[in-house]
Amino acid sequence: MTEARHAGMSSAPTPLPHSESGSPAAEMDPVEYTLRKRLPRKLPKRRNDVYVNMKTDFRAQLARCQKLLDGGGHREICVHGLGLAINRAINIALQLQAGSQGALQLAANTSTVELVDDLEPEDPDESGEPMTRTRNNSAIHIKVFYPEP
């Protein structure tokens, strides 16, 4: 994968960061607004894209990647992680590499993903406008590949 991807999560629910203390949330009274997070923007994914989340078992995700590399006939796969899942994406990539006796190589890219939150007023009749805000979150895209001989 050559081009840097701008955004990325797809498939199962992607973990969203659970606290952004420095964000505008601090100014808002939590009683007056309900925060509703929208899903991160999805992009079409190829067969060898793996989006890592925090809900699925780690071993299962690792096995899935292993399978793509071994039996799936792919020379390279791309592991994506957003926010909290960055850690896990790195873990998976390193495990894959360790398990391959040095045959696999890694190439990591980072990016920033824009996320959208809806803020709905509790008492809609008086305060009117619900708000929408965007915030940014980090993402990592690790290419795991067999180097060309």
Partner 1 sequence: MSASKVKMRDRKMKNQPASVQYSSPSAAAGSSSQNGRQEAKDSGWQRNPPPRTGWVRGYQRDGGGGYMTEMPKYITAGAFARSRAAEVKAMLKAVTKRTGSNHVFQALPKHMRRRAMSHNTKRLPRRLRDVASKMREKSLQAGSKKKKELAKSKSRKARRRHGNLLLEFNRRQRKNIWLETHIWHAKRFHMVKKWGYCLGDRPTCKCYRPCYRAMSSHCLLLDISYYCCIELRGEEDTLLTALSQLTSKETGPTFAAALCLSGCRQGSVTVYRAGQYPSHPLGPVTFLWRPRAEGSASRQLWIWAHPALKQDLLPELQRVCECFEAVVPPVIPVATPAESASTLESEPKPEVSPKAKVTPGGKRKRSRVDAGGPPAKKILGDGTRSPDTPVTWKSSSSGIVINDLTMEMVRYRLVGPQSHSVLTETLEAATDCDEAGQSQASSLWWPQHCRDERKMNLHQQQAEVFNTLKGIYSSGEVPPGTVLGLTVDDPRLTLPAKKVKAMPSVNQSQEADEEKRRQLMLQGVPQLCSQSCLWEQSVRDNVTENKISEQELNRMRSELLVPGSRLSPTPLQGRIPILLVHQPGKQVGNDMSSWGAGWDLLLPKGWGMAFWVPLVYRGVRIAGLHMSLKRSQNQGAPHFPHDYPDCPAGIRFQEEQEAELLDKFKRRPPAKRTNYIKHGCLAPFRCPWQQLVEEWELLTRQRGDGQARSTTKPKEEEMTPQPDHAGTKPQSGFTVVRSRKSLRLLSAWCKLPTSRGQRPGRGGGAPPLQQSAADAFLASHRMSVAWVRLSLLSKGKPELHAMVCAPTPEDLKLLGKRDAGTCPQEPPHRDDFKSKTRRRKKSSKTGAGPLQSSDYPGTEASEPSVDAEPDLVLGVWPDPLPSITSHCSRVTLGWVTEGDFSLSAGCGEALGFVSVAGLLNTLLSQPEEHRGKVLLRNPSSLHYRFAQINIEV
Interface residues with partner 1 (CB under 8 A) are 13, 18-19, 30-31, 36-39, 41-44, 55, 116, 118, 122-125, 128-130, 132, 134
Closer residue to partner 1 in complex, CB, 106/116: 116
54 near 84, Cβ under 8 Å?
yes
How is the beta sheet containing 76-82 ordered, strand by strand? 33-37, 105-121, 131-145, 76-82, 49-51
Task: Quote the least distance from Cβ 39 to partner 1, whole Å.
Answer: 5
Q: At its nearest, how many Å lie between partner 1 and the CB of residue 98?
A: 28
Nearer to partner 1, 39 or 103 (CB): 39
Measured from the CB of residue 74, what is the shortest distance to partner 1 in angstroms? 21
Question: 60: exposed, middle or buried (C-beta count within 10 Å: 0-12, 13-18, 19+)?
Answer: exposed
Give the C-alpha separation, 142 to 108, whole Å. 4
Of residues 44 and 71, the one with the C-beta less far from partner 1: 44
Q: How far is the CB of 124 from partner 1 (least distance, A)?
A: 4
Q: How far is the CB of 40 from partner 1 (least distance, A)?
A: 9
* Degrees to nearest 5, angle at CA 37 with 139 and 48: 40
Judged by beta carbon, residue 46 or residue 147, the one nearer partner 1 is 46
Taking the least distance from each CB to partner 1, the nearer of 31 and 73 is: 31
